[in-house]
Structure 1
Amino acid sequence: MAASRTPNKVDRAKIVPLKRGAGFRRASGNIAAIDFGTKNCSLAYVTGGDTGLGLGGLNKLRLNGTHTRVPTAVLLDGDKRVVKFGYDARERYSHLDVRARENAYYFDGIKVDLQRDKHVSRDVPVRALNGKHLRLVEVIAQILGYLKRELIDNHLRKAGYNFTAEDFDWVVTVPAIWLASGKQMMRLASVMAGLCSEENPDRLSLALEPESGAIYCHEMRKRGQVAYPTPHPNSTPSTPTSYSYLIVDIGGGTVDVSAHRVSTTPTLSVEELHHPDGNDWGGLQVNLKFSEFLQKLVGDRRFSRYLQVNDADAKILNRFDVDELMNVTFERVKKAYCRSPRDEREEVFVKLPDSFLQEYGEALVASLEAKTKELRMEGRENEIVTLRDSILRIPPSKMEQFLQPAVDGITECIDGLLATLSNTGVEINTIYLVGGFGGCHYIYELFTERYGEGRGIIVPPNPEFAIVEGAVLFRANPGIVRSRKADATYGKSVVRHFESFHDPRYRQGDHCHNLFQTIVGRGESIRPDCLYMAVSRPLSLDQKRMHFEVFSSVKKAEELWYTRDEGVVQIGELVLELPEVGRTTRDREVKVFFDFSHTEIQVRACEKSSKAEVKAVLDFLSAIPPGQRRKVKVQEERVEERDGDQKHEDEEENNEGERGVERGDGELCDLNA
């Protein structure tokens, strides 16, 4: 329920019920899901509604010939068209001639540019290996478009199916901890790639990665299929009818954690117990520590001598070699190390590139010799790293040092979330581990030792595919998730009559500006059958557009009074395109309905009196860095009494001037208000 009115706070948006369910369009039966990971990509699909789900009807697209999961690496030509993707992109780029390398664009791991707390705009650039730049959204769109064509044109059509992209419901996975701008970036890229259109935005769903992983884990557990712990041969599958769990998705870039309560009878339903949490301590942090170790050994921070040579082609090749060393060679040995049980872990062997040794060989040998003497004097022989020919031999104790910072980041996140849940009376019975890094034996052992007392620690089969396969199941039955928790307090700016309790800094004439009107509060439960309604009134009869800013904060709703309060950031803007002129400004009041129940914030608006639909664009991709606000020319409005006793009209700051507004790329959803 909305908070009661207090003298110095604005009334909250009203909660109103949806008349017809949660607003999901029934899936067509053909579903394709793309797990767009920081390090790797995969695509799973079903046709004809056969989710079968023994997962028998679910297929994974083979890329680069035989692989069902490939690196998120793409090679574009000078016209920005895909030449190769995945392993093939790396192979082709390494064999290009000088001119071709200068003209091409090679990207690897671009999702890291969509960081958890990083606001992105539709024009944010990403740098190719040769130093050239493209818009990040363009590169993502090219990758999504390539995967679409591989499925529809190359795979299904060759198998005798006459499908088009429009015959599928598409799903793209995103971290639950991403900002709204990152999610909208993926939707915009999906529109550009042809997965959906502005006219049919509901052909695309964004699936939260931990939710998808959880749905997959439930399905596997129901069937008695787990990777760890190894089930007893004579045991029978057993799944409680109701229990609370954490789903921990650890990939290359992020740690993404959600807490749920699940009921398995009569059908599977999931309730979120806490808003998603996480950080950036994914598996790539281990690679980073190895890189820092090498930089220190050779005495060259960021390998600047090696990467900033004068010869342009040599510079590109050196960058490629470093990328291969960190993200392919070391990644391979790291995975092998982490997949092994503790008593089977041995030293790992990392081959250094010839060009790297030409630049740093002497310094590397001298540094290793000095370090070896130091470690022997201290009795730490088990940490000695050696170089033989071009092979760096790294003992298990040194690998543990590379892993430890990531372990600390992961456990800090889990410890905090478990403590928070315990303080609210929630006890977690089970922890599911998924993702390329999260599903390895190393992380399983860590969680079993630290969190296993009184809890089940479960890794499903093929944990690296849990997200993409679970995303298909999510789209087949999106109503599985019955409620979510708001990850932040969301609101907008309003103007009221200035009262004695208002902050004089925000006084303009007889009005108080920059008042924070809460739409939904951090940690509040959000049901799929409810919307949040706020009413806006134009400032003049001939006004054609209303504009106001959307804000968020990690603070609780009751702590926020003004949009300039510490910890409040502007995350986007909402623009309403008004119908033709009305008789009075009251006749032209607009109801704005916000929907937070899905994986994206959606909005719809209608004129209060006529019920005519008002075009509403909710834009999180405007180039507004957090904490900075677009200067808006404000026209003061005469404030009237409403219903005889209210003096506090909900009058928004509006942009009187005419300016171009782009469509919100699918954010307008047909909600039933």
Structure 2
Amino acid sequence: MASNYEAVVAIDFGTTYSGYAFSLTSEYKTDPMKISANNSWVAGSAGLMSMKCPTCILFDKDKNFVSFGYEAEDKYSNLVMDNSHHEYYFFKQFKMSLHQNTNLNRDTNIEDERGKSMKAKTVFAAGIEFLKKQAEDLLSTRGMNFEEWEIRWVLTVPAIWSDAAKQFMREAAQKADIMNDQLLIALEPEAASVCCRYLPDAKGIDIFMPGSKYMVLDLGGGTADINVHQVADDGSLQELHQASGGAWGGTKVDASFIRLLCAIIGDDVMDAFRSNHPGDYIDLLREFEVKKRNVKAEMETTINFKLPLALTQLFEAMTNMTFQQALVNSTYRDDIISTADKIRIKPNLIQGMFRDPLVHLEDHIRCILAKPQMRGTSTFLLVGGFSESPIVQETIKRKFPRVKVIVPAECGLAVLKGAVIFGHEPKKIRARVARFTYGIAISKPFIEGHHPSEKKKVTPNGVLCTDVFHKYVESGESIDSDSSQTLSFSAARGCSTNRVRVYRSTMADPMFVTDEGCNLLGEVILTREADDLNSSQKIDVSLTFGGTECSVVASDAQTEKTFRSKFDFLNT
């Protein structure tokens, strides 16, 4: 066992849906799958039931938290109906803002549904704090009252996220009163992989035999997150291909549906409908969520939708035209039938809404399988909410007929439950593949004719070549999860804080940190105590790149005294 915690609680903060689950350490030892999850969230309309709740959050005019999930949706809808919503902040499906922001920092703002902005960290922290409190209340209700330090918390993030985004989520969790030492970051496809080996429909098959290789496709609302694992002799997992993927989740289908409506009624009408009738807009998307779960690759029946009365009335008021007239004038007149307050969409049209994410997914999978080290990968594990879609499952099976495709029961909860298991045993993932080449900037003796003249610098210690890329880890290299690389350097006399800049590169062997493809990743910050400042010290800096997060430990080379040290990827 990796810890002495009495319980592990995992929070899956998703793009579209979020939830939590937990298990007791005493019960985990005998039954790893004895995991409890919330199952009482139900949408107020559209007949949609979920073991997770929507990732949306409401703040008042003073930016104080009001509500989260279905309650936030319904509360905001009522505010709009009362015309008292203008000073509120309503955020929905905002997680992807971290993945899309290349300049993410602690002061990053995100915009709500009406374009008003708040600090991103405040929004994420409030959501995490809500789910944390929900989990604590459920534990308490079941008679399990633990002290803060007796709970290990696990927060899931997409494996394709940047180091800055992972650190941002860690700091948001700290703002939500989760102590840093009690928090683990779990990568979503890894968590799903860990979970699947314990599921009843996966036991006994050769996928988890030593030496076997399989691909995990974690298809969520926002992203498709893909990993390839090989089972080691001791049963632990080794990553064979660095985490990859893209924004090819279920929200792409939702966006196609909205674009279709916009092509008929116009963007201005849809914008007005979304702003002035958010409750009806949410109901429309909830109904589409239910309907799209039944779309198949081969189907003959139409999909029927009830259009909100507010939408058709708004359209007629803004255009002096009925929806039926607009439909006849559109390019969709042969594929959509309008009757009273309903529209009937033919199968080929709604199937086409899935085409873009599925084409990207297929192309990406083929690129991965074409690599030599992937030879022998004969099984796909489909997990995540988007994997529950029949057309997604059928398309993957049809495009890759020689591959065994396994879709576990409750595949939408595989990440959440796997994160709980990961919290008990983080070493289940033994090795990972580096996505980039990592290193630091150093100076070396200048060699005439070898080093460029613009890197030449005369110092009291001699003529040096600056900006040399000192490589720790090479892109594509397999790294043990707890292995580290150590570099020694001298800390200046009288300096309490020393900083070492860390760079990453898309190239395997860059010469300088200024080469094309190299970027400043962040800093290693070392803090020395007052009694160490009167002398220069030789400090060993050990960097670990094989975990779910980069970590650092610094110590005095002679006394082995440890200094406070941390990575900082969010410094503006």
> Do both share a fold (TM > 0.5)?
yes
168 and 85 in structure 1: CA distance in 2 versus 1, 3 angstrom threshold: same
Task: State the partner residue of 2:514.
Answer: 564
Could you tell me how far apart the structure 2 residues matched to 1:85 and 1:542 are? 49
Aligned-partner SS, 1:93:
helix
Could you tell me how far apart the structure 1 residues matched to 2:168 and 2:482 are? 26
Task: State the partner residue of 1:356.
Answer: 311
Contact 2:73 2:282 in 1 (8 A): no
Deviations 1:244-295, CA, capped at 9 Å, x for gaps: 00000010111100011114x6x52111111111111111111222222222
Task: State the partner residue of 1:474.
Answer: 422
Q: Which residues of 2 match residues 281-320 of structure 1 at below 5 A?
A: 281-298=248-265, 300=266, 303-304=267-268, 307=271, 316-318=275-277
Contact 2:201 2:408 in 1 (8 A): no
Greater Cα shift, 400-409 or 460-469: 400-409
Could you tell me how far apart the structure 2 residues matched to 1:238 and 1:485 are? 24
Aligned-partner SS, 2:395:
helix
Aligned-partner SS, 1:460:
coil
Specify every segment of 5 or more residues in structure 2 that has no aligned partner in the other structure, as ranges. 43-48
Which of 450, 464, 486 is the equivalent residue of 2:434?
486
Q: Which residues of 2 match residues 39-438 of structure 1 at below 5 A?
A: 39-51=16-28, 57-64=34-41, 67-96=50-79, 98=82, 100-115=84-99, 118-153=102-137, 155-196=138-179, 201-220=180-199, 223-224=200-201, 241-242=209-210, 243-263=212-232, 267-298=234-265, 300=266, 303-304=267-268, 307=271, 316-318=275-277, 321-322=280-281, 325=284, 327-337=285-295, 341-344=296-299, 346-361=301-316, 362=321, 364-371=323-330, 381=334, 384-420=335-371, 423-424=372-373, 426-438=375-387
Shift in Å, 1:176: 0.6
Shift in Å, 1:159: 2.9
Greater Cα shift, 97-106 or 122-131: 97-106
Shift in Å, 1:440: 2.5
Could you tell me how far apart the structure 2 residues matched to 1:76 and 1:216 are? 35
Greater share of strand: 2
Greater Cα shift, 47-56 or 246-255: 47-56
Contact 2:482 2:547 in 1 (8 A): no
Deviations 1:512-532, CA, capped at 9 Å, x for gaps: 222211121111111134211
Q: Which residues of 2 match residues 7-18 of structure 1 at below 5 A?
A: none
Contact 2:338 2:344 in 1 (8 A): yes
Task: State the partner residue of 1:534.
Answer: 487
Contact 1:152 1:165 in 2 (8 A): no
TM-score, normalising length: structure 2: 0.90
Task: State the partner residue of 1:516.
Answer: 469
Shift in Å, 1:128: 2.0
Contact 1:63 1:70 in 2 (8 A): no
Task: State the partner residue of 2:45.
Answer: none
Shift in Å, 1:363: 7.0
Contact 1:306 1:318 in 2 (8 A): no
Shift in Å, 1:163: 2.6
Could you tell me how far apart the structure 2 residues matched to 1:306 and 1:176 are? 34
Larger relative contact order (C-alpha < 8 A, sep ≥ 6)?
Answer: 1
Shift in Å, 1:402: 1.1
Contact 2:438 2:471 in 1 (8 A): yes
| Counterpart residue type for residue 235 of structure 2 | L
Could you tell me how far apart the structure 1 residues matched to 2:374 and 2:257 are? 41
Deviations 1:80-129, CA, capped at 9 Å, x for gaps: 44332211211111112656412322111111112167341111111122
Shift in Å, 1:571: 1.9
Which of 496, 511, 523 is the equivalent residue of 1:544?
496
Deviations 1:482-513, CA, capped at 9 Å, x for gaps: 11111111111112333221122333443322
Specify every segment of 5 or more residues in structure 1 that has no aligned partner in the other structure, as ranges. 1-23, 227-235, 376-380, 624-673
488 and 578 in structure 1: CA distance in 2 versus 1, 3 angstrom threshold: same
Task: State the partner residue of 1:652.
Answer: none
